Structure 1
Amino acid sequence: MAKVDAKTVKELREKTGAGMMDCKKALVESEGNLEEAMAWLRQKGLASAGKKAGRVASEGLVESYIHTGGRIGILVEVNCETDFVARREEFKALARNIAMQVAACPNVEVVSTEDIDPETIAKEKAIEMGREDLANKPEKIKEKIVQGRIDKRLKELSLLDQPYIKDQSITVEELVKQSIALLGENIKIRRFTRFVLGAGIEKKESDFAAEVAEATGQK
C-alpha cells in the first residue's frame, strides 16, 4: 500500500473539492499518483461534491418506503437547492434508495455521527474504559483502543457510514456525493423516521432490532 502524505492529500482536495477521506482513499487506490487519483475521484463522482457541500439545501422532498407486508415504514427527508432538481427522476430515485437503506439498517439511529449527543459518546467511553480486557493496558494504549471501539460503534449508528445496499463498494455518503456531482447541487439527508408494526414502549431494543432484521431479511 502506497504511503500517502498530508501535503498530497491537501493538494488533491484543492484541485478537486472532494473530501479529505475521499482524497486519501483515491491516493491509496492510485498508489500515490495524483493524476490517477483525480481520475478515480471523477469516476466515483466525488471530484466536485466537496465544493457544493456548503451551499444551502432548502428544497427537496419527503419520500416514503413501505416494506413488503406492511410491517416496516420509512419516512425520509432529502434536501437539494432547487425545486427543479427535486422534480428530477434521479433525485427521486436517490430518495427512494435512501428510504430503502434505512429499512435495511435497523441499528442506524442518526444521519451522521455528528448528530450523536456528546453525552452519549461520553457514556460509551466510560463503559469501554472500564472493561476488564483493558485493565492491565497502559493508559495511552487503553485510550487508543477505546477510541477505536467508539469510532466503530458510532459508525454503526450513522446512516451515511453504512455500505450502500445496492453497491457494497460504496457508502451512503459516497452515494450522496455521486448524486451531487450528477445533479450539480448540494444534497443532504436531513432526517428519517422508522415505523415498525407493533413496536411499542414495552418492547426491548433487542426485540425491535430483531423484528426489523427479520422483516428485511438482514440476519
Structure 2
Amino acid sequence: MTKITAALVKELRERTGSGMMECKKALVETGGDIEAAIEQMRKSGLAKADKKSDRTAAEGQIAIERSDDGKRAVIVEVNSETDFVAKNEDFQGFVGKVAKQALASGAQTVEALLAAPIEAGGPSIEEARRELVAKLGENINIRRLMRFETETGKVSHYLHGNRIGVVVEVEDGSDELGKDLAMHVAASKPHCVSEEDVSADALEKERAIFTAQAEDSGKPANIIEKMVEGRLRKFLQEITLLGQPFVKDPDQSVGELLRQEGAKVVRFVRFEVGEGIEKAEADFAEEVMAQVRGD
C-alpha cells in the first residue's frame, strides 16, 4: 500500500478538480493507487450527476461558432441551475468546447452532439457533461442548437453578453449589414422574417381578438372592419423583421433598409438563456442545506 502523502492528494486534486477530503478518501480506499482513485471518483461522480438530472436548469450561456469563410455557423444554449455556476471558469470552458465541436462535428441535433468527443482523444460531450455536473454540484444541460450552412450567402452573428445570441443568414449583403441585422434581432425580437411566414391560424386568432375589441366600441360594421385591418397591419409590422423600424434608424423599416442595400434575409434565430423554462421558486436556505448534505 502506497503512503497517502500530501503531495499525492495534491496531484489528485489537480487532476480531478475535486475537494481535498474527497481526494484523500478515494486514495485511502484504493490503497494510494492514483489511477484507480480517479476511476472510482469518475464512477461516483457520474452516479451523482444522474441524481441531479431532474433539477431545473434555467441559467447558463449562449455560445456561437462561425467558420472563417462565413458560410457555416452554429448557436448553442447550455444551461446550469444558477448564475453563479454559469460564471464559473470550468462551466464556461465546457461551453466553449461544446460550441467548437458543434461546428466541427456537423451535428444537427443535441443527441448527435452529445455523442461527439469534446476534443480529440477526449471523452464524449455527454461524459464530460456528467463529470462537470459531479464537479460543480449542479445540473448542467445542453438544451438546444441550430446550425446554419449556406452556399449563396453569409451568416452573421451577435452575442449580447452571453445571455442572448443571434445568427442571421443574409444574401448579397455586407458583413457590417449582417451584424447590424443580428443586433436588431437581439433587441427587437421579431417572430419571423416576413408576413408570408405568419401562419393563417395565427392571423385568424389575432383577427378574432381585434374584432371582439372593436365591436365593443359600438361603431358601424364597415368602420369595425377598417379598424381590424389597421390593427392587423400594425401587428404584422411589429412581429416581422421586415416590418419593424430599424433600431439604428427608426425612420426606415428593416425591409426598406434591405431594399436600399440590395440584400435579402433568408432566416435568423434568436436564443435567450432560459426562455420558455418554468423556474421553480427557490428556497435559499434549503439550497444551502442541500449543498451541505451533498444532495
User: If each structure's helix is expressed as a fraction of its own residues, which one has the higher value?
Assistant: 1
Matched, 1:73 2:165: yes
Matched, 1:123 2:205: yes
Residue 132 of structure 1 and its aligned partner are, at CA, apart by 6.4
In the alignment, is residue 100 of structure 1 matched against residue 193 of structure 2?
no
Shift of 1:77: 0.8
Which sits farther off after the overlay, 162-171 or 120-129?
162-171
Which one of the candidate residues 60, 63, 84 is aligned to 2:153? Answer: 60
Paired with 1:131 and 1:122, the residues of 2 have a C-alpha distance of 14
Matches within 5 A, 1:19-168: 59-67=152-160, 69-80=161-172, 91-106=174-189, 108-131=190-213, 134=216, 136-168=218-250
How many Å apart are 1:199 and its aligned residue?
Answer: 1.6
SS of aligned partner of 1:160: coil
- 1:190 and 1:147, CA in 2 relative to 1: closer, same or farther beyond 3 A? same
Give the letter for the 1:166 counterpart: K
Are the counterparts in 1 of residues 191 and 239 from structure 2 also a CA contact under 8 Å? yes
Secondary structure class of the residue paired with 1:130: helix
Taking CA–CA contacts closer than 8 Å with sequence separation of 6 or more, which of the two structures ends up with the larger relative contact order?
1
1:194 counterpart letter in structure 2: R
| Change in 2 beyond 3 A, CA 1:58/1:135 | farther
Deviation at 1:98, TM superposition (A): 0.5
> Could you tell me which residue of structure 2 aligns to residue 25 of structure 1?
none
Aligned to 1:202: 278
Find the residue that maps to 1:124 and give its secondary structure: helix
Find the counterpart in structure 2 of residue 189 from structure 1: 265
Q: If you compute each CA radius of gyration, which structure gives the higher value, 1 or 2?
A: 2
Q: Which amino acid aligns with 1:76?
A: V
Task: Could you tell me which runs of 5 or more consecutive residues in structure 2 were left unpaired when the two chains were aligned.
Answer: 1-149, 280-295
Over the matched positions of the two proteins, sequence identity in percent amounts to 43
When you count strand as a share of all residues, which structure comes out higher? 2
Deviations 1:88-128 (A, max 9, x none): xx61111111101101103x101112211111111111111
SS in 1 for 2:174: helix
Secondary structure of the structure 1 residue equivalent to 2:269: strand
In 1: Cα distance, 2:226 partner to 2:214 partner: 16
1: CA distance between counterparts of 2:176 and 2:170?
Answer: 11
The alpha carbon displacement at 1:196 in A equals: 0.5
1:58/1:79 contact within 8 Å kept: no
Taking structure 2 as the reference length, the TM-score comes to 0.41
Measure the CA separation in 2 of the matches of 1:139 and 1:58: 51
Q: Tell me, in whole angstroms, the C-alpha distance in 2 between the residues paired with 1:133 and 1:75.
A: 42
Tell me the C-alpha RMSD between the 2 structures: 2.0
Q: Secondary structure at the match of 2:157?
A: strand
TM-score, normalised with respect to structure 1: 0.55
Give the C-alpha shift of residue 201 in structure 1. 3.5
Change (3 A) 1:200 1:128: closer
What is the letter of the counterpart of residue 158 of structure 2? Y
What's the CA shift string for 1:118-162, capped at 9, x where partnerless?
Answer: 111111111111126635221111111111111111110011111
Letter of the 2:197 partner, please give it: D
Residue type at the aligned position of 1:74: V
Shift of 1:63: 1.2
Distance in 1 (CA, whole Å) between partners of 2:259 and 2:244 is 14
Distance (Å, rounded) in 2 between the aligned partners of 1:99 and 1:171: 15
Structure 1 residue runs of 4 or more that deviate by more than 3 Å after TM superposition: 132-135
Give the distance between the partners of 1:174 and 1:142, measured in 2 at CA: 30
How far did 1:58 drift?
A: 6.3
